[in-house]
């Protein structure tokens, strides 16, 4: 049993939701993060990210994903201009390849050996396979570091962001996107269709997320790692049309009711 919160080290985490034994989902009232306890072992997680995980990305979703990456790049360039970019958890490398074509100098890390090899073939250059810290990039090296739906998968999000801070230039930009634990509109749509609540963690039923962030807990985490949040809002990088529709409704309702109910969160930060 975990005695302290892996983000803020607070010690009063409470049960949020039972899961398949021995796992359960805990919530830290101090920083609002929810997390799986105990974490599944690294080998079990790595097995999830073989060719099957990426099959749709490189086939039926390919053109929609290309449009998503294009929109994200234009967004990033509006904030950071162009320069040296690192994508942590770069998956199949499609984002970096589009960035490279637009004039970025690109680098990527990826924990899945299958995806790292695929990305390297796409980019025509090596992609580091392993944890970010193991890549040992020089200090103050990158103009922008992106984590597109990566933080919810890692076991040490705080130390990962601290390493990002070390390798970012003084005015460098961090961009993080994660699913939103308070995706109330999506949860309502799920219950309507499936007649049950979506589970926060299940190795059988869904992609395993080790952390579940809210706008508050993501802001807290990024601040703890030494960043100042410049902007937080909805992440619109959704490729499935039905989910896009639900997210559109969530964005409108959130704006009207002053809530943070979007499907996913996008955050921009700079070194504090």
What is the nearest approach in angstroms of Zn ion to the Cβ of residue 4? 8
* Pick 30 or 239: Cβ nearer Zn ion: 30
Q: Mention every residue, 6+ apart, whose C-beta is less than 8 A from residue 119.
A: 90, 91, 92, 93, 96, 108, 110, 127
* Pick 10 or 52: Cβ nearer Zn ion: 10
* Pick 18 or 29: Cβ nearer Zn ion: 29
Is 157 exposed, middle or buried (CB count within 10 Å of its CB: 0-12, 13-18, 19+)? buried
Rg (CA), the chain: 18
Please report, for residues 9, 12, 28, 101, 214, the alpha-carbon distance to residue 3 in angstroms, rounded to integers and kept in the order given.
9, 8, 11, 47, 22
Q: Binding to Zn ion by residue 10, rule CB under 5 A?
A: yes
**End-to-end Cα distance, the chain:** 34
Please report, for residues 29, 86, 184, 204, 219, the alpha-carbon distance to residue 262 in angstroms, rounded to integers and kept in the order given.
21, 26, 8, 25, 15
What is the nearest approach in angstroms of Zn ion to the Cβ of residue 244? 32
* Pick 123 or 176: Cβ nearer Zn ion: 176
* Pick 7 or 68: Cβ nearer Zn ion: 7
Interface with Zn ion by CB under 5 A: which range of 29-37, 44-52, 143-151, 232-240?
29-37
Q: Binding to Zn ion by residue 223, rule CB under 5 A?
A: no
* Pick 6 or 234: Cβ nearer Zn ion: 6
How would DSSP label each residue in 170-216? EEEEEEEEEEBTT-HHHHHHHHHHHSSPPPS--TTTS---SEEB-HH
Among 19, 25, 26, 28, which residue sits at the site for Zn ion (rule: CB under 5 A)? 28
Among 8, 203, 223, 251, which residue sits at the site for Zn ion (rule: CB under 5 A)? 8
Among 16, 30, 135, 216, which residue sits at the site for Zn ion (rule: CB under 5 A)? 30
The residue with tokens 């509109």 is 185
* Pick 146 or 214: Cβ nearer Zn ion: 214
Q: Binding to Zn ion by residue 76, rule CB under 5 A?
A: no
- Is residue 142 helix, strand or coil? strand
What whole-number distance in Å separates Cα of residue 84 and Cα of residue 141?
Answer: 8
Among 26, 31, 119, 174, which residue sits at the site for Zn ion (rule: CB under 5 A)? 31
Interface with Zn ion by CB under 5 A: which range of 28-36, 149-157, 173-181, 260-268?
28-36
Residues lying near Zn ion in the complex (CB under 5 A) are found at 5, 7-8, 10, 28, 30-31
């Amino acid at each position: 049993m975990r005695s302290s919160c892996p983000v803020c080290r607070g010690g009063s985490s409470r049960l949020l939701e039972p899961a398949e034994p021995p796992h359960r989902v805990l919530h830290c009232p101090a920083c609002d993060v929810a997390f799986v306890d105990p974490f599944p072992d690294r080998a079990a997680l790595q097995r999830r990210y073989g060719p099957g995980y990426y099959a749709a990305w490189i086939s039926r979703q390919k053109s929609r994903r290309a449009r998503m990456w294009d929109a994200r790049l234009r967004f990033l360039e509006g904030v950071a201009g162009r320069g040296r970019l690192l994508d942590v958890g770069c998956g199949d490398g499609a984002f970096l390849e589009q960035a490279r074509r637009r004039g970025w100098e690109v680098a990527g890390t990826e924990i899945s050996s299958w995806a790292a090899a695929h990305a390297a073939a796409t980019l025509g250059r090596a992609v580091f396979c392993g944890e970010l810290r193991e890549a040992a990039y020089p200090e103050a090296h990158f103009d922008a570091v992106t984590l597109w739906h990566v933080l919810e998968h890692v076991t040490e999000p705080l130390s990962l962001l601290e390493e990002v801070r070390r390798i970012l230039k003084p005015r460098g930009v961090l961009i993080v996107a994660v699913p939103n634990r308070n995706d109330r509109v999506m949860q309502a749509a799920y219950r309507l269709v499936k007649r049950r609540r979506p589970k926060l963690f299940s190795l059988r039923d869904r992609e395993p997320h080790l952390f579940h962030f809210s706008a508050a807990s993501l802001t807290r985490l990024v601040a703890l790692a030494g960043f100042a949040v410049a902007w937080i809002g909805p992440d619109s990088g959704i490729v499935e049309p039905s989910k896009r529709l639900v997210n559109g409704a969530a964005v409108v309702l959130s704006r009207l009711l002053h809530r943070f109910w979007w499907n996913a969160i996008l955050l921009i930060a700079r070194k504090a």
